[in-house]
Amino acid sequence: MVVNNKLKIKHSDTHSDKDTGFEISSDFERFNQINDMFSRAFWDDTVRTKLSDAFFDSHRVQPKGKKAPGFRQKDFALRNAAWAISDTFSNRGAEKGTREGFQSWMECDAEIAAEKLHIENVQEYTIEFKQIAKLFGADLIGITTIDNRWHYSKRVDTREFIPVSNELPGNYSHVIVMGHAMDKDLVDTYPSALASSAAGFEYSREAAIVTQLTTYIRSLGYEALGSMNDTALVIPYAIQAGLGEYGRNQMVITPEFGPRVRFSKIFTNMPLTHDKPIHRGITKYCTQCDKCAVACPPKALPLGPPSTERLNQSTIKGVKKWSADCEKCFGYWTKIKTDCAICMRVCPFNRDFETLGGKLFMRLVDSPLQFVALWWEKKSGIAKRVKPDTWWQSLIK
């Protein structure tokens, strides 16, 4: 039995906004998924362009034109192959307008067993359950309570790109949030089609893990609904579940893998204990750092403090936070025909925390000596991109 021993297991009670650091104003509104950039790129003429169509097409067919390193046939082939399992899941509901994992929750063939597993000691059972999630391949796992504020007010029917009901088909009390670590060597080559393979591998992996774990829970007699980017915002759920802290680059930064993590979730009514939000000095560090914002090619990330300002409809209303200008960000993605995560690559938390240097950095961040970590990073400058050809050559060395 191979078990990924990177998994972090924690237990605690529930949370409040004070614990998470969320600042929600009275004009808060749940986010309507029709307004996210990946939906707007299909119905909003201010976003949909020949470039955005070409961006989506490139995930199926190698784009024509210049072939810079990282954007050659092999790079696109690897990226599109990495996404293949995720794509298979998301395409299977095309006729119903349910793009599973992105614009709709994930269907599960397993019936809910008539007999429920008797759980006597919930705390002990939660430990066992987390080990099972680890067995299926989760790198991080946290559990929190359902919080309807993070559920989309509407989801999207992808046949016509219209908003439709997002009411969950069942009764759920908890959300299991899983983190899936991206390959650092690939991330270090962002921006490139090659680097995007790191995202594709994790989406494909999470589609499988979510399906397996959902099947497991349903076979134990409890309700379970699998979800990737669909149905609810995963970032606040990951923070509530204690997996990391919010960063200026709009990502959840984890103590184990920094920002290099994709998240999935499962809604369930199986009895489980909840985890608490963590405070390791990461968000505080971001208030003094601006590497991601400086390195962002279209200048889509904010340099100032968190705010409730909405640059356009793709920002949620009434949450004080660092928010990207998603139109600028997605516009850049369409120009390079692949996703960009320069703001992930240059982040000082994109390091190996198993090394002595990584451990020391995290210790400093989480201490009154945080200014030393900031000074250290300022001296190092902005991390350079690893050339995609160097990555390919490393395969045969």
Min dist CB 365 to ligand SF4, Å, is 9
Min dist CB 27 to ligand SF4, Å, is 25
Angle made by CA atoms 74, 206, 257, in degrees to the nearest 5: 80
Min dist CB 328 to ligand SF4, Å, is 7
Helices (H), the chain: 17-20, 37-43, 50-57, 73-91, 122-136, 184-187, 193-219, 234-240, 282-288, 291-295, 326-336, 342-345, 356-365, 370-380, 388-394
Region class of 258: left (phi > 0), else alpha (psi between -120 and 50), else beta = left
Check if the beta carbon of residue 262 is closer than 8 Å to that of residue 110. Answer: no
Min dist CB 99 to ligand SF4, Å, is 22
Min dist CB 236 to ligand SF4, Å, is 17
Min dist CB 159 to ligand SF4, Å, is 29
Cβ proximity to ligand SF4: between 68 and 122 the closer is 68
Task: Show the binding pattern over residues 344-383: x = contacts ligand SF4 (CB under 6 A), - = does not.
Answer: --xxxx----------------------------------
Site for ligand SF4 contains 163 (CB under 6 A): no
Count the residues of the shown chain that bind ligand SF4, applying the rule CB under 6 A: 25
Residue 6 CB-density burial (10 A; 0-12 exposed, 13-18 middle, 19+ buried): middle
Dist. CA 171–CA 112, nearest whole Å: 13
Check if the beta carbon of residue 260 is closer than 8 Å to that of residue 346. Answer: no
Cα separations in angstroms, 9 against 47, 52, 185: 42, 41, 26
Cβ proximity to ligand SF4: between 211 and 249 the closer is 249
Amino acid found at 246: Y
Task: Show the binding pattern over residues 230-269: x = contacts ligand SF4 (CB under 6 A), - = does not.
Answer: -----------------xxx--------------------
Min dist CB 278 to ligand SF4, Å, is 16
Dist. CA 354–CA 337, nearest whole Å: 34
Task: Show the binding pattern over residues 306-345: x = contacts ligand SF4 (CB under 6 A), - = does not.
Answer: ------------------x----x--x-------xxxx--
Residues 278-307 that bind ligand SF4 (CB under 6 A): 285-286, 289-292, 296-298, 300-301
Residues engaged in binding ligand SF4 (CB under 6 A)? 247-249, 285-286, 289-292, 296-298, 300-301, 324, 329, 332, 340-343, 346-349
